[in-house]
Amino acid sequence: MEFLANCLHDLTALGPGGVPAVMGALFLAGLAGGATHCAGMCGPFVLAQAAAVADRAAAGGMLARLSGAALVPYHLGRLLGYGALGAGAGGLAGVVAFGTGFRFVLAAMLLLAAVLMFAQASARVAALLPRLPAPRLPRALQARLAGLLAAPTGLRGVALGLMLSALPCGLLYGALAGAAATGSALGGALAMAAFVAGTVPALVGVALLGRFFGRQAGPGMRVAGAALFAINGAVLAAMALRVVA
């Protein structure tokens, strides 16, 4: 029973301050990736939602426009979806680590996350990695997404965020490796919640300014993003060494 409890909500698998450190690293990864990756990959979905609520937002003034750009239901759906993925990754890693006694599994997850963060920082390294094919969604799912994008408010916006959180993404895999390293479902969910929070500012910027945001912020954000990813990689690698020391 204690073993199961550890896999569900133990926050000490990485030692004192381990989970907050992973959360901080993934939050910074979200900030960096939000501007350099998510704004391009998720931008069309964000722009479609912003366009769908533009008339109502414009009629309500600046406050309504800001509220419309925030796309709260969509980001809530993303939080729930990514949190569930993080909980599954953390719980599964906890089962393996605590059930077998191979605690180095957690260190391996941290190292994997570090490698993926370094890959994000370096275009040369990223080019050497196998590229995933662009996701092809079933027609029925495409039709469902189109319906949700047409009116992305309330529970429809939450459902949209949930559905899109399952799309394959290299940055997501790095974040999930970090979440798995927490060794518990709760720790994994918290780590992914921090990651989602980091991606929100850039996506709100896209909703407010459209593609102008990417053009203006692009060059500087790419340099800053590379630096943040490199820092994240170093932090996660150092944590891995601490786990096995």
Which residue type is seen at 57? A
Neighbours of 219 (CB within 10 A): 9
Pick 50 or 69 by higher pLDDT.
Answer: 50
Instruction: Tell me the C-alpha distance between 214 and 5, whole Å.
Output: 44
Instruction: Tell me the C-alpha distance between 175 and 196, whole Å.
Output: 10
Structural domains counted in the chain: 1
12 inside domain: no
| Per-residue confidence band for 131, with pLDDT thresholds at 50, 70 and 90 | very low
The pLDDT value given to residue 65:
59
- Read off the pLDDT of each residue in 142-146 and give the average, rounded to a whole number: 68
Instruction: Tell me the C-alpha distance between 152 and 34, whole Å.
Output: 21
211 inside domain: yes
Percent of the chain with pLDDT over 90: 21
The pLDDT value given to residue 23:
94
183 inside domain: yes
9 inside domain: no
112 inside domain: yes
Distances in Å between the alpha carbon of 190 and those of 19, 146, 151, 160, 232? Answer: 8, 30, 29, 21, 17
- Read off the pLDDT of each residue in 102-115 and give the average, rounded to a whole number: 86
Name which of 47-51, 52-56, 58-62, 74-78 the model is least confident about. 58-62
Q: Cα angle at 172 between 171 and 176, to 5 degrees?
A: 120
Pick 179 or 68 by higher pLDDT.
Answer: 179
The pLDDT value given to residue 22:
93
Pick 75 or 126 by higher pLDDT.
Answer: 75
3 inside domain: no
65 inside domain: yes
* Domain interval for residue 170: 23-126+152-244
Pick 147 or 180 by higher pLDDT.
Answer: 180
Distances in Å between the alpha carbon of 88 and those of 3, 140, 142, 174, 190? Answer: 16, 27, 26, 15, 12
Contact 191, 26 (CB under 8 A): yes
Name which of 31-35, 55-59, 100-104, 151-155 the model is least confident about. 55-59
Contact 58, 65 (CB under 8 A): yes
Residue 55 has pLDDT above 70, yes or no: no
- Read off the pLDDT of each residue in 196-212 and give the average, rounded to a whole number: 80
2 inside domain: no
| Per-residue confidence band for 219, with pLDDT thresholds at 50, 70 and 90 | low
The pLDDT value given to residue 171:
85
The pLDDT value given to residue 125:
44
Distances in Å between the alpha carbon of 96 and those of 1, 13, 109, 135? Answer: 16, 12, 12, 30
